[in-house]
Structure 1
Amino acid sequence: MSTEEQLLEYWRKLPSDAQHQVLEFTRSLQTEDNSPDLGAPEHLTIRSREHLDQLLQEGLESGDSIEVTDDWWAQKRDLLFRNTSATC
């Protein structure tokens, strides 16, 4: 099953109110408003280039590095789908 088919299957299992919320969020991303506020929570908001550099440096120093391969991404996607399926 392709990723698109998996997403569509997951979508169909969502309650209608959750589908509506996803559609509204998607529409909000497609607006022509170039406002810098995209509605991100405060802890995910980048305030300046220096702040971004600080966060990147913290990430680099946060632990051992790993090689991110196609297999690694496939495992991450599978884990995400399993976790989200368990909560529906």
Structure 2
Amino acid sequence: MSNINISLPESMKVFVEEQVAEGGYGSVSEYLQELITQDQKRKMQEHIEELLIAGLESGEAIEINDEWWQQKRTQLINQLHQEK
């Protein structure tokens, strides 16, 4: 694990220490790791939502059913065989 040194104003330092004490964290590092993890999850969720919106806006909707999936599998298998 790597170390990072950060500088905080005294008011933020006090806030972080309070959050550690009240939130059941074992250390400031645990608290900051949790904040970073939450931010990573939030950004990933935003990215997924952007992709979903792009998909919805990408063209006319089609019905996806078992027959469609079978055709898609067949197309992909044929592509793989052609590339070899």
How would you bin the TM-score normalised by the shorter chain?
0.3 to 0.5
Q: Which is higher, the Rg of structure 1 or of structure 2? A: 2
Higher relative contact order (CA 8 A, sep 6+): 1
TM-score of the superposed pair, with normalisation by structure 1: 0.44
Whose helix proportion is higher, 1 or 2? 2
TM-score of the superposed pair, with normalisation by structure 2: 0.46
